[in-house]
Amino acid sequence: MNYILMAIPGFLILILLELGWARYKQLDVYRLNDSTNSLALGMISRITRILYAAIPFSFYIYAHEHFALYHWENTLWTWVFAFIVYDLGYYWNHRLGHTMNIGWASHVIHHSSEEYNLTTALRQTSIPNIVGWVFYMPLAFLGIDPVIFASVAALNLLYQFWVHTQTIKRMPNWYEAIFVTPSNHRVHHAKNKIYVDRNYGGVFIVWDRIFNTFQPELNNEPVVFGISTQLKSWNPIWGNLHFITQLMKDAWNTNNYSDKFTLWFRRTGYRPHDVEQRFPITKSNEQIEKYDSNLSKTEQWYVFTQLAINFLWVFGFLNLAANLPIQTHFIFGGVLLFSLYSLGLVQERKPWRLYCEIIKFSLVAIAMTTQLQIPTWVEFINLTAGIASCFTLYTTMRLSAHSTSQAETN
């Protein structure tokens, strides 16, 4: 049972409720560009996970079948035990993701948003964590059935969704002492020095208390969200690749051959001394101007509409994925990835965004025609919508260029 897929409509309802409540309370916690980027990254994550998630899971199944020390019966206590031990593994996996360069390369995108709301919870990576899966292998050796393991992993992730909010200040003290809450998870997403690398728990905050990584949210230290090296992009592909690209550049540019191989496994932020001197990077743990792009009302509606269309495409693809051949996975995955990349270009108002949108709708039409047996009327609606969308974007670009030209003339 795919709990995450089943929960997606609920996620959207809760996001809309939070947005409405934030507007009612006049809380400035949502921006269209930032939330769109978070949702786009989440969609790409679900697409790519289909293609590679089976690899570490296969190791788990193999270890369970050949090396399990004990086989548990499918009882409530088995699920409780598996849930607690899984969360302990998550704590160490998450901690490694923050304290080792190669782990941060996979996890950084989740922290790159400069806002904190329920869409941030869906801002997930598409870069595989090549080392973190080992923390879950003890469950295989202990004999936890792969189905139970996959289920508690999904339930753990589902729990983490609701804590990504600023609309809930504090939970009761007893709850704050045991479980991860919005307050202590806001600390985890902060870039303030006092908050950095704290509160790694997924469901239980007690691991942080036990291993001395707990930090409460302080009234006199407002949380500053984001990462110390501002992303400055709505491009979801670059968002996923920017840190690992920096590691590759550092490994190439350093003259220290030891660093070329070891910097990947050094503490997060480590850079070879010679590279740091020649190619310094500006970092900030303070509040700075948030990255944004000023879109007109028409452009905002265009972005929102295309996001909704992309969501429907992705949701439909995920529901059909189990019955589709592998080549269709790659074809649709590639088309949807390009579609969300193109949407990022629209958000950044790149000069070539219209051409990419035309290519996007063309690729969607080709993929749907060749890979799925869809009715002609559905294809006609899709084509009409694509033409109308491109015309809307073209008109908006012309009006924007005309307004800029008039402003420069005046």
pLDDT at position 185, please? 98
* 147 within a domain of the structure (yes/no): yes
* 410 within a domain of the structure (yes/no): no
How far is it, in rounded angstroms, from Cα 192 to Cα 186? 11
Asked if 10 and 139 sit in the same domain, the reply is yes
Beta-carbon contacts of residue 235 (< 8 Å; ≥ 6 apart): 341, 344, 345, 348
**Residue 190, φ and ψ in degrees, nearest 5:** -85, 155
Q: Which of 192, 89, 167, 201 is nearest to 184 (CA)?
A: 201
What's the N-to-C CA distance of the chain in angstroms? 62
Total residues belonging to the chain: 410
Asked if 177 and 31 sit in the same domain, the reply is yes
* 223 within a domain of the structure (yes/no): no
* 275 within a domain of the structure (yes/no): no
Given a contact cutoff of 8 angstroms between Cβ atoms, the answer to whether 318 and 46 are in contact is yes
pLDDT at position 121, please? 97
Three-state DSSP state, 74: coil
Asked if 316 and 175 sit in the same domain, the reply is no
Asked if 192 and 311 sit in the same domain, the reply is no
pLDDT digits (tens, 9 = 90+) for 84-122: 999 999 999 999 999 999 999 999 999 999 999 999 999
Beta-carbon contacts of residue 275 (< 8 Å; ≥ 6 apart): 250, 253, 254
Q: Which of 84, 85, 106, 80 is nearest to 94 (CA)?
A: 106
pLDDT digits (tens, 9 = 90+) for 113-144: 999 999 999 999 999 888 888 999 999 999 99
Asked if 8 and 127 sit in the same domain, the reply is yes
* 355 within a domain of the structure (yes/no): yes
Domain count, the chain: 2
* 131 within a domain of the structure (yes/no): yes
In which band, very low, low, confident or very high, does the pLDDT at 186 lie, cut at 50, 70 and 90? very high
Asked if 151 and 57 sit in the same domain, the reply is yes
Residue 372 has pLDDT above 80, yes or no: no
* Mean pLDDT across 281-298: 91
Residue 373 has pLDDT above 70, yes or no: no
Residue 380 has pLDDT above 70, yes or no: no
* Mean pLDDT across 198-221: 97
Asked if 66 and 193 sit in the same domain, the reply is yes
Asked if 201 and 316 sit in the same domain, the reply is no
* 270 within a domain of the structure (yes/no): no
Residue 403 has pLDDT above 60, yes or no: no
- CA 61 to chain CA centroid, nearest Å: 26
Which of 211, 231, 252 delimits the end of a domain? 211
Which of 211, 235, 262 delimits the end of a domain? 211
Which of 164, 179, 211 delimits the end of a domain? 211
* 273 within a domain of the structure (yes/no): no
Asked if 198 and 322 sit in the same domain, the reply is no
Beta-carbon contacts of residue 135 (< 8 Å; ≥ 6 apart): 89, 90, 92, 93, 96
Question: What pTM was estimated for this model as a whole?
Answer: 0.92
Asked if 176 and 305 sit in the same domain, the reply is no
In which band, very low, low, confident or very high, does the pLDDT at 388 lie, cut at 50, 70 and 90? confident
pLDDT at position 377, please? 56
Asked if 207 and 81 sit in the same domain, the reply is yes
> Mean of the per-residue pLDDT values for the chain?
90
State which residues form the domain around 355. 297-401
Asked if 323 and 194 sit in the same domain, the reply is no
